[in-house]
Structures are given as C-alpha cells and as structure tokens.
Amino acid sequence: MLSFFLVLLAGCGKEEADFSQARVEVVLSPGGVGDQGYNDNILRGLQTAAVRYGFTLAIHIPEEKEQGIQIYNEWLNAPLDNDCERSLFVFSGSEYEYLLQGLSLPKDARKDVLMFETEQAVDGIYTFFVGCYAASYLAGATSVMDNYGEEQKALVIAANPHDRQVRRAVDGYRDGYLAAGGDGCDVHYLSEEPDGGYRMQDEAYQFCIENDGNYMYYFSAAGASNKGVYRFSRETYNFAVGMDDDMGFLSSFISISVVKHMDWVIINLIGDLLNNKKIPYHQVFTYESGYEEMVFSKHVMEDWFLDISHIKNRIVEIEQRYEEANQ
C-alpha cells in the first residue's frame, strides 16, 4: 500500500479562498494509476484542485480494495489538529461502494466523506456519478461511415458485464452505432468477475489481433485494458475509439474519443465542499452537465464524418429515456 502527501501552498495565482488549513485524504483504485485515462484524469483533478485551493493532499494507493476501509477507519478515528478547519475523505472509485451502507460516519463536524462514481444515495455521504451513455451513443453513431458500400460492423471490448458504468458505455456505443445505420455491433467481455477485466491489456490486444479486419471500428470500455486496443490500432491501422480522455495522441487511427471530465468534477465539487456550499448528498451528471462528451482528435475534422445532427439534437432525450428505463 503506497501513501504519500502533497503539501501545496497557495501562490500568487491562486483563484479561491485560502484553504491551507484544510486536508483532503484520498484512496485511489488499486492498480488504476497509470491507465492514461480514467484514473490518471482523477489524479490530475486532485492535484489541480490542491494547487488551486491550497489544501494538503494525502493520497493512498492500496494493493487491494479491501484495504480501503482500513485507511478510512484510520482517518475516521484520528483526531484533527485544532488548526485544521476542514477534512475530506475521498473514495475515488465505484469498487468501494460496497462499503457505503455500513460505513461509520465522522462525528467531527469538520469531517466529510465523498465517494466517486456510485448510484447509491446515502444520507450523510456525498456521492455522484458521471454518465457516459450519451457520449458513447454519439461515438457509435459517428463511427458509421457514409456511403462505404460494404457491411459495417463494430466490436466493443468491455471489462465485465457487472460494472454499471461499463454497461452504459457498451449500450451507448452499440445503440448509437445501430441507430446511425451500422450493420452490427458485437461485445466481448474480458472477464466475468465483478472486478475483473480492467488490467488485461495483453488479452485485449490478442483478441483484437484475432479479429483483425473483421470490424470497421474497435471500441473499448475496460480501464487500463484499453491500452491493448490502442496498441492494436496503432500497429495494424485499424480505427479505434478512445475512452475516458482524448486518446488521439496514441494512434492516428483514433479519430474520436468518449471523454469523462472527472478532473473538472473533482475541482468543482471539492471547491464547493471546502466552501461549505449546500449541495445535494447525491448528484447525477449526464450530458447536459458538460462532464461527458464525445470529442474529435486534433488531426481530424468533424465534416469528414457522417452528419449525425439529427441524433445529436436529441441526445439529451435519448439518454434520459435510457436512464429511466434502466433505473
């Protein structure tokens, strides 16, 4: 278990009030840092928030998710210094949501708990999730080529069928691809285990190699395993879709990406909590929030692709219907 502290003092460019007497303690996803996507985006957001607001940031990277409760209990039972005005504990991934129902809450009014990416609403704990169905739907629709003249099929590589956010990405991409005229969209899960499939980039790469030429586009929603698909795209000149951030820099054949702006959410939400703003204990951020979007890589132009304005103009409604049907 790796833990480290960042004490970032406010400089002349600091934009907010002085929170140098505040402390934010974070437990990250095991093995997540270094995925060049979702988890690295979270880490970037935490570091940016620490610089902007001037608080002390303590980061823990456990080897197993079960160590998260140990880290939390140490924070919960440790008394705060008299000069500490605010202390926030952050669970940075949905793998910790199994702890929510039995989690002991802090008695010190200066302490609060925040958990990322969970649909559970628990009184006294700040929770949220950022959707990706709409952005994935737009990516699927954009992947269909205009007047190609041959059968067009896409392949989705997914971590496992249990992760709700993975299912949103899978459903969104497939639904958008078929809605725009694609002939078929197959889904391959790297694992059947609830926490599996996120660190299997070699397996993702091998499966794509075995299916080289069978699909027009390859899309992956599998954490660090996505890197295997990007490698495949780069080496074999197959079209792929980036996930979690703009991945166009990894392959010239990654022309579009599904982006979840986790760094923006973190900066804004931690700022609200440190400022003691009254916010809901549970928040849902979908396409209208601006925290999820489909982006084009810098080396391509939007007008190279099929015009999907008739879909984009209805994407908020499309996502709303999906969320209501899958509650």
CA distance 8 to 101: 33
Per-residue CA distances from 205 to 41, 124, 246, 247 (Å): 23, 43, 20, 16
pLDDT digits (tens, 9 = 90+) for 169-221: 999 999 999 999 999 999 999 999 988 999 999 999 999 999 999 999 999 99
The DSSP bridge pattern shows strands 217-221 and 239-244 to be parallel
Sequence-ordered list of residues with C-beta below 8 angstroms from that of 107, at least 6 positions apart, any chain: none
Tally of CB atoms within 10 A around 318: 20
User: What does each of the 327 residues of the chain score in pLDDT, given as a tens digit?
Assistant: 454 454 443 333 344 556 888 999 999 988 777 767 788 889 999 999 999 999 999 999 888 888 989 999 999 999 988 888 899 999 988 888 888 888 999 999 999 999 988 888 999 999 999 999 999 999 999 999 876 667 899 999 999 999 999 999 999 999 999 999 999 999 999 999 988 999 999 999 999 999 999 999 999 999 899 999 999 999 999 999 999 999 999 999 999 999 999 999 999 999 999 988 999 999 999 999 999 999 999 988 888 898 999 999 999 999 999 999 998
* Token couple for 252: 């010239």
**Assessment of whether the complete model's pTM goes beyond 0.85:** yes
Is residue 160 within 8 A of residue 190, CB to CB? The reply is yes
Cβ(125)–Cβ(58) below 8 Å: no
